[in-house]
Amino acid sequence: MTQSAIGPDIRELPSPNHDSRGEPPDIRPINMLVLHYTGMQNAQAALDRLCDPEARVSAHYLVEEDGTLWRLVPEARRAFHAGISCWQGEHNLNYLSIGVEIVNPGHEWGYRPFPEPQMAAVELLCRDILSRHRIPPDRVVGHSDIAPDRKSDPGELFDWPRLARAGIGLWPPPDAAAAHRRGRGVGVLQRTAALADLARIGYCLSPATEQVTLAAFQRRFRPARWDGLLDAETCGRLHAVRMAVEAAQAARQQRRRSRFN
């Protein structure tokens, strides 16, 4: 593992809440990055909780609103941040992911925009993590993407497009076809196609969680409205994101193939 570029600027606050990522041959490589907000009144309360052995929760990193960066759990260990979760058909995501907590009071305590110094630090940290682990863009997710029935973090104010411009995660360009479709109602066929797009992107769907899962998608990729209702705009975004995911996965396969040729 190469040395972390963020080394000197990071503060250490070891949390006891971690365990093994598994023993060989069952150990799986880190291939996922999960972003959270803390959802607590302030940074200190979040740090206290993430280090409380009774709470049994943690993350690998925490980023304060002024950009101060803490390491709580070494990346080689499994932190307890995702909980019951699912992405691209996989469960137990703590085993294969790195979790980053971003300080924000969240929807419960007064959700507010993520300040510039904080976003700059998040960007630097994520780039550093991605430089050391093979994490594909379609596996950089928010907590609400992988647990939409329980979680809404980091939420609709989080600047995913900015991160994508820095090479972190996906943000497809506006879909020209969506503009064309706008204004028409969403019929049964479009609905079926939209739910297929949602599943293809990675969201784990059941009839009971359809609306909250659509809301999670909207918070992330269409943050102007996240009521979980399927309209033409959401259908267009779903299609655009699906195409971006498939392009990323095809490029990955191509690289894998050329490595063996």
Which residues make up the interface to Zn ion (CB under 5 A)? 36, 143, 153
Closer to Zn ion by CB, 34 or 170: give it. Answer: 34
Closer to Zn ion by CB, 69 or 232: give it. Answer: 69
Closer to Zn ion by CB, 36 or 239: give it. Answer: 36
- The active-site residue, picked from 101, 123, 156, 233, is 101
Is 101 a residue of the active site?
yes
- Min. distance of Cβ 95 from Zn ion in angstroms? 17
Closer to Zn ion by CB, 71 or 143: give it. Answer: 143
- Min. distance of Cβ 187 from Zn ion in angstroms? 35
- Min. distance of Cβ 135 from Zn ion in angstroms? 18
User: 154 and 102 in contact (C-beta within 8 Å)?
Assistant: yes
Q: How far is 104 from 43, CA to CA, in rounded Å?
A: 8
- Min. distance of Cβ 143 from Zn ion in angstroms? 3
Using alpha carbons, select from 56, 54, 37, 34 the residue that is nearest to residue 46: 37
Closer to Zn ion by CB, 113 or 174: give it. Answer: 113
- Min. distance of Cβ 202 from Zn ion in angstroms? 17
Positions marked catalytic: 101
